[in-house]
Amino acid sequence: MALLRTENVDFIYSKGTPFEKKALSHVTFSLEKNEFVGIVGTTGSGKSTFIKLLNGLLAPKKGAVYFNEQNIWSKGYDLRALRFAVGISFQYPEHQIFSDTVKEDIAYGLKNQGVPENLWQDKIMEVLKIVGLDETYLELSPFQLSGGEIRRVALASIMVMRPQVLILDEPTAGLDPVGRDTIYTALKQYQKETESTILVVSHNMDDVAEYADSLLVMSAGQILAQGTPAEVFSKTEELTAAGLAVPEITQLLHHLKLSGLPIQDSLFRIEDAAQELANFLNEVKKDE
């Protein structure tokens, strides 16, 4: 049974006005418990719109959204509870900071959830550890932090509420490779400790492929490809045509295959590609 799924959803902005814009068409997607899924696609492909449908911030114009197999737009459905169960951290959290200290920022969601104040400290310390910050950060102003640290605080602020599904919109945009790894390592750690389900939006395929169990590739409001990273990257031509940069290592393997080498071209980790090439070269040596 899917934890969260959409069936054939469409979404249109400003319907019936000169600004009408169809942002999603026929999107059918399902997320299983404890899965780590990446949503990728170029800017404007509909990723942010899609995740807003998943916790009921936007309602589909057609189709349906189900959480635990219940239609979230059925009469009397508790959307407030859904928004705690499916937590979204939006793009550029640094634009949404309004607390004086890191501690207040992280505690904000706990307060909203009505968690008793005597439980806050333990919960806060737990998530702070997951994102790799120590307690000296708690009394700092978010404005004293680096870009990467602010992202980690934003991540802690949503993790502390323990949503069943954690959705992050471009959590690593603008970070350097070290900052990016820190975020993904924290997410993996969190997933392991809490058995939660994670959905990460990214316009960088290299980035998510490393960590995701499966990928949803969007293009112009539609699903272009869906499957494990290996399945998705076997469609190099379609992805490239849609303006998506396939990992460089996958491109190299693909070109080698096109030039006639009998190798697998859907690999995306450097180590796997190296192994594939080594196996091929060893075969060649044996035949000599």
Token representation of residue 78: 């508790």
Interaction partner, residue 23 (ligand ADP, Mg ion, none; CB < 5-8 Å by kind): ligand ADP
Residues 205 and 195 sit within 8 Å (Cβ to Cβ):
no
Binding flag, residue 266, ligand ADP (CB under 6 A)? no
Q: Which of the residues 121 through 180 are near ligand ADP (CB under 6 A)?
A: none
Q: Cα–Cα distance between 251 and 244 in angstroms, integer?
A: 12
Binding flag, residue 45, Mg ion (CB under 5 A)? no
Q: In the bound complex, what is the minimum distance in angstroms from residue 46's beta carbon to Mg ion?
A: 8
The one-letter amino acid at 73 = W
Contacts of 111 (CB under 8 A, 6+ apart): none
Q: Using CB under 6 A, which of 38, 46, 56, 60 touches ligand ADP?
A: 46
Q: How far is CA 185 from CA 99, 103, 167, 217, 229, in A?
A: 26, 22, 16, 23, 18
Contacts of 25 (CB under 8 A, 6+ apart): 10, 221, 222
Q: Which of the residues 47 through 66 are near ligand ADP (CB under 6 A)?
A: 47-49
Which of helix, strand or coil describes residue 212? coil
Q: Using CB under 5 A, which of 6, 40, 46, 48 touches Mg ion?
A: 48
Residue range at the interface with Mg ion (CB under 5 A); choices 41-49, 52-60, 93-101, 243-251: 41-49
Torsion of CA 272, 33, 169, 62, to 10 degrees: 120
Binding flag, residue 102, ligand ADP (CB under 6 A)? no
Binding flag, residue 93, ligand ADP (CB under 6 A)? no
Site string for ligand ADP, 4-43 (x = CB under 6 A): ---------xx------x-x-----------------x-x
Q: In the bound complex, what is the minimum distance in angstroms from residue 11's beta carbon to Mg ion?
A: 13
Residues 251 and 233 sit within 8 Å (Cβ to Cβ):
no
Binding flag, residue 118, ligand ADP (CB under 6 A)? no
Q: Cα–Cα distance between 38 and 240 in angstroms, integer?
A: 18
Q: Which residues here bind ligand ADP, judged by CB under 6 A? A: 13-14, 21, 23, 41, 43-49
Q: Which residues here bind Mg ion, judged by CB under 5 A? A: 48
